[in-house]
Chains A and B, each alone.
Chain A
Amino acid sequence: MAKNDDVKVLGAWPSPFVMRARIALNLKSIDYEFLEETIGSKSQLLLQSNPVHKKVPVLIHGDKPICESLIIVQYIDEVWTSAPSILPSDPYDRAIQRFWAAYVDDKLFASMRQIKSLEGEEKKAMVEQATEGIVLLEEAFEKCSKGKPFFGGDRIGYLDIAFGSILGWLRATEKMGEVKLLDEAKTPRLVKWAGRFCADGAVKDCMPETDKLIELAKVLMAKMKGAPPKQ
Chain B
Amino acid sequence: MVDEVVLLDLWASMFGMRVRIALAEKGVKYEYMEDDWRNKSDLLLKMNPLHKKVPVLIHNGKPVCESLIIVQYIDEVWKDKSPLLPSDPYQRAQARFWADFVDNKVYGVSRRVWATKGEEQEAAKQEFFEIFKILEGELGDKPYFGGETFGFVDIALVTFYSWFYVYETFGKFSIEAECPTIIAWAKRCMQKESVAKTLPDQKKVLESLLSS
**Residues on A facing B (Cβ under 8 Å):** 52, 61, 64, 66-68, 71-72, 74-75, 78-79, 91-92, 94-95, 98-99, 102-103, 136
**B50 adjacent to A136 (CB under 8 Å):** yes
Is B129 located at the chain interface by the 8 A CB criterion? no
Q: Which of B70, B73, B101 has the most CB of A within 10 A?
A: B73
**A98 adjacent to B72 (CB under 8 Å):** yes
Contact of A92 among B50, B73, B101 (CB under 8 A): B73
Is B89 located at the chain interface by the 8 A CB criterion? yes
Type the 1/0 row for B52-71, where 1 means its CB is closer than 8 Å to any CB of A.
00000001001011100110
**In the complex, how many angstroms separate the beta carbon of A163 from the nearest chain B beta carbon?**
15
**B93 adjacent to A94 (CB under 8 Å):** no
Type the 1/0 row for B69-83, where 1 means its CB is closer than 8 Å to any CB of A.
110110011000000
Instruction: Give residues of chain B (86-117) contacting chain A, Cβ–Cβ below 8 Å.
Output: 89-90, 92-93, 96-97, 100-101
**B73 adjacent to A94 (CB under 8 Å):** yes
Is B134 located at the chain interface by the 8 A CB criterion? yes
**In the complex, how many angstroms separate the beta carbon of A69 from the nearest chain B beta carbon?**
11
> Contacts A52-B101, A99-B66, A136-B50: A75 and B73 contacting too (C-beta < 8 A)?
no
> Contacts A68-B100, A91-B76, A95-B72: A75 and B89 contacting too (C-beta < 8 A)?
yes
**B77 adjacent to A91 (CB under 8 Å):** yes
> Contacts A52-B134, A68-B97, A92-B73: A102 and B92 contacting too (C-beta < 8 A)?
no
Interface extent on B, as a size class?
20 to 34
Q: Contacts of B76 on A, CB cut-off 8 Å? A: 91, 94
> Contacts A74-B93, A75-B90, A75-B92: A92 and B69 contacting too (C-beta < 8 A)?
no
> Contacts A52-B101, A68-B100, A91-B73: A102 and B66 contacting too (C-beta < 8 A)?
yes
Could you name 16 residue pairs across A and B whose Cβ atoms are closer than 8 Å? A61-B90, A68-B96, A68-B97, A74-B93, A75-B90, A79-B89, A91-B77, A92-B59, A92-B64, A95-B69, A98-B69, A99-B64, A99-B66, A102-B66, A103-B50, A136-B50
**In the complex, how many angstroms separate the beta carbon of A101 from the nearest chain B beta carbon?**
10
**In the complex, how many angstroms separate the beta carbon of B114 from the nearest chain A beta carbon?**
23
**In the complex, how many angstroms separate the beta carbon of A109 from the nearest chain B beta carbon?**
14
**B65 adjacent to A99 (CB under 8 Å):** yes
Chain B, Cβ-Cβ closest to A102: B66
Q: Contacts of A95 on B, CB cut-off 8 Å? A: 64, 69-70, 72-73
Chain B, Cβ-Cβ closest to A91: B76
Q: Contacts of B89 on A, CB cut-off 8 Å? A: 75, 78-79
**A99 adjacent to B93 (CB under 8 Å):** no
**In the complex, how many angstroms separate the beta carbon of B153 from the nearest chain A beta carbon?**
13
Chain B, Cβ-Cβ closest to A75: B93
**In the complex, how many angstroms separate the beta carbon of A111 from the nearest chain B beta carbon?**
14
**A71 adjacent to B64 (CB under 8 Å):** no
**In the complex, how many angstroms separate the beta carbon of A51 from the nearest chain B beta carbon?**
9
The 8 closest A-B pairs by CB, nearest first: A78-B89, A91-B76, A75-B93, A95-B73, A71-B96, A95-B64, A98-B69, A66-B93
> Contacts A91-B76, A91-B77, A95-B72: A71 and B93 contacting too (C-beta < 8 A)?
yes
Q: Contacts of B66 on A, CB cut-off 8 Å? A: 98-99, 102
